[in-house]
Every structure is written in structure tokens, then in C-alpha cells.
Amino acid sequence: MARVRLSGLHKHYGALHAVRGIDLDIPEGEFTVIVGPSGCGKSTLLRTIAGLEHADQGAIEIDGEVVNDLAPRDRDVAMVFQNYALYPYMSVFDNIAFGLRARKFPRLEIDKRVAEAAALLGITDQLVRYPRHLSGGQRQRVAIGRAIVRDARLFLFDEPLSNLDAQLREEMRAEIKRLHRDLGKTMIYVTHDQVEAMTLADRIVLLRDGKIEQQGAPLDLFERPKSRFVAGFLGSPTMNFVPARLEPADGGLVVRFEGGSVLPLPPARVQAVMAHAGSAIIFGVRAEHISRANGTATREGLAPLDVTIDLVQPTGTRTYAAFNLAGTEVVAELEAHDLQGPGEQLTLQVDMNRVVLVDPSSDRVL
């Protein structure tokens, strides 16, 4: 197991500043997911930790030792790549054993480790086969097997599931999570898929343009995003954002939209944003925090909103209903049988306890 600490890390590719000052402390045994849009520097950061790229500035410490000048093979780190590049003319066994043979492990030890890894990954009966005869998911397991036989202190995964279909991804996701539980090793996992990040991580590090935008436990980021970027990146469907104004009313505050709709802010939330009374804001609400008003149950903070539904997308369990609010299309996640169809007028309720208010000039959540 390993503790990883990055401080003041920078990496340039010529004029391109790919990693811009990363400070990160990863405790032993933690599953950290680095997530962010394409090109934000995730792979570069991971490759720098592995030693496949050289940091221009800053320190990489593993277990208290600065490893910047250690060759990749001396860092005791195993990496699984997105394109898992198995050797086509080697059997599954030989693919998994390759790294051990290169390190001159004794034969019996190799046999033992390969057998253990194969059992853990459920590919024992595939060991004599060749990669071309395997499914995508089986190949992915071989690639992971190749990494875990080395028994490295730190595991790095770069989008290992992105070549798989949706169902296999879900299966492998659960398998990787189980693997982490069973091995107890420190793992750093890169993905651009926010669902993968939410489901796998002990901690999410959300990267934007080579910098950390926010880090924390998945639910922490989901429920307390610090910026519009974080709020919009996590969650599906994407959070709805609508320009509005924050206005004083009856000693409290309301969110007022162009066209006249008004949503009062619950008293408990007023004080924190009072200083912004009279300002333009961006109102953010997740689809699941808009429901059908049932007339009776009025919990504090549920604000009614009259809408005309213009698009209905059933998923089976839930139905996504789109309507126009102040010129912006907003999606609500309703119960499957809440709706007749497009054109319907109905009263929804917005859970104002859960909405975010964003300062449009800084994109920070108020």
C-alpha cells in the first residue's frame, strides 16, 4: 500500500501547459478517481505519477520518498491503460506472466501469482486462450491481471473501461470496486465518465484545464459543488441552469425569472446569500429535485411552478419532462405515470432546499 503526495506539480508539452500546479494528498488504500472533460490533463497527471512523463516542476512522493527521478520500473507502480495492448501471439497466461518473467521471478512463483490473479478475475479457464479469441471484457480482465500479479504498491488505471459496451462497463466497474476491497491497495483511476467516478470513488478529484477544481467524497461534490462547472459536470441529466434575479420579498428572498415566475428561497437559506439581493444570478436545479405537486404535502422549501410540458421522454422507471422557463429548456424527472403527454399544463414543485445559486460573473456557487 502506498501514500501518494503531489505538490506543485507542473507539466508542459512545448508551449502547452497541461498540468498547472497540482497539490494532492492520497492516503494509503484510498480509491481516488480523477475525472474531468477531455484534454483537462488526466492522463498526463497519471503518466507523470507512473514516471512515463517527467514533471517540469513540483514533487511526486510515494510513501514519503520523492520519486521524480526514479525510472517507472523502480516506482513499484502498476498501470492499466485504456488500449490494453495485449501481446496477440501470447496466451492469456503468458500475457499476465510477462512482467514477472521480465523481472526474473522464479517459475513456481509466477505460476502461483498468475493462478491467483486469474481466479480473482474469473478467467482461470481462459489462460490457454489467445487475446483475439476473447471478448472485450475478458481482454480487459487480462490487462488488469497483468497489473495485479506484480503486487505493486500503487495501481493506476487510465480509462480502462472506455472500450466496453454499457453493460460490460457496469459489470467491470463492480469488479474493480471489489478488487479494491479485496486487495486494499491505493488506486488512482482516471475517467471522463462522471457516473464511473461517482460509483467507484472514495474521493473524486475534478480536474479542469490542468488544475483541481474541487475534490472530496462523491456526495460532497454532488451536493455541495463550489462552482457551476462542478455542479454541471456531476449528475445525469445535467443540472438545469436558468438566468434569474435574486430579489428581496417579505423580509426574505425570491428567485425571479424573466416572464414572471417566482420561487421563494427557504428562510434557512436566506442569510447566506442576503448580500446578493438585487443581483443577477444563475439558478441551478437538478431534474430530480423537480416533482409533480400533489397539492397536500407541503414540506418547507417546496415551491410551486406552473409549466407547460413540451417534451416527454419515458425511461421506464422515471419520465423526463421538458418545459420552458424564462427561455431556457428545463428538464424535470417525474414518476412514470405523472404525465399525459406534451402540451399538458401542470403544477410542479421545486425543492428549493437543494437548488444552487451561481454568481454569473465568477461562476462560483453562492
Where do contacts with ligand ATP occur on this chain (CB under 6 A)? 13, 16, 18, 36, 38-44, 192
Contact 40, 207 (CB under 8 A): yes
Dihedral (C-alpha) 32, 18, 165, 167: value to the nearest 10 degrees?
Answer: 20
Return left, alpha or beta for 326; rule: phi > 0 is left, psi -120 to 50 is alpha, else beta: left
Q: Identify the three-state secondary structure at position 307.
A: strand
- For 323-345, the DSSP string reads EEETTEEEEEEEETTS---TT-E
Distance CA 349, CA 91 (A): 59
**In whole angstroms, what is the distance from residue 257 CA to residue 246 CA?**
9
Smallest gap from residue 352 Cβ to ligand ATP (A): 35
48 contributes a contact to Mg ion by CB under 5 A: no
Q: Which is nearer to ligand ATP, 16 or 85 (CB)?
A: 16
Residue 44 interacting entry, from ligand ATP, Mg ion, none, C-beta within 5 to 8 Å by type: ligand ATP
- What cell does 105 get? 521471478
Please say which residue, 43 or 261, places its beta carbon nearer to Mg ion.
43
Q: Which is nearer to ligand ATP, 150 or 192 (CB)?
A: 192
CB of residue 22 to ligand ATP, shortest distance in Å:
12
Residue number closest to Mg ion, CB atom: 43
216 binds, among Mg ion, ligand ATP, none (CB under 5 to 8 A by kind): none
Give the span between the Cα atoms of 315 and 302, in whole angstroms: 25
The residue among 213 and 338 lying less far from Mg ion, judged by its C-beta, is 213
Least distance between ligand ATP and beta carbon 207 (Å): 7
Pick from Mg ion, ligand ATP, none: which does 173 bind, CB < 5 to 8 A by kind?
none
DSSP conformation class of 266: P
Nearer to ligand ATP, 83 or 340 (CB): 83
Under rule CB under 5 A, residue 44 binds Mg ion: no
Q: Terminal CA-to-CA distance of the chain, rounded, Å?
A: 39
Enter the DSSP assignment of 103. Answer: T
Q: If DSSP codes are grouped into helix, strand and coil, which group holds residue 239?
A: coil
Q: Which of ligand ATP, Mg ion, none does residue 13 bind to, with CB < 5 to 8 Å depending on kind? A: ligand ATP
Looking up cell 428572498, which residue turns up? 253
| Residue 38's binding partner out of ligand ATP, Mg ion, none, with CB under 5 to 8 Å set by partner kind | ligand ATP
Cα–Cα distance, 356 to 227 (Å, whole number) = 9
Of the candidates 101, 93, 87, the one whose C-alpha atom is nearest the C-alpha of residue 118 is 93
> Angle 136-148/107-121 helices, nearest 10 degrees?
140
Stretch that binds Mg ion, among 36-44, 265-273, 284-292, 303-311 (CB under 5 A): 36-44
Write down the least CB distance from residue 11 to ligand ATP, Å: 8
Length of the chain: 366
Shortest distance, CB of residue 16 to ligand ATP, whole angstroms?
5
The single residue among 43, 95, 140, 240 that binds Mg ion, judged by CB under 5 A, is 43
Q: Which set of grid coordinates corresponds to residue 138?
A: 475478458
Q: Is 93 or 157 the residue whose CB approaches ligand ATP more closely? A: 157
Q: Among 9-17, 35-43, 147-155, 198-206, which window interacts with Mg ion (CB under 5 A)?
A: 35-43
User: How many Cα atoms are found within 13 Å in the side-chain-facing hemisphere of 273?
Assistant: 30
39 binds, among ligand ATP, Mg ion, none (CB under 5 to 8 A by kind): ligand ATP
CA 341 – CA 319 distance, rounded (Å): 11
Considering CB under 5 A, how many residues would be counted as binding Mg ion?
Answer: 1
Task: Choose between 36 and 137: whose C-beta lies nearer to ligand ATP.
Answer: 36
Residue 44 vs 349, nearer CB to ligand ATP: 44
In the bound state with Mg ion, the residue whose beta carbon lies nearer, of 6 and 114, is: 6
The site for Mg ion (CB under 5 A) is made up of 43
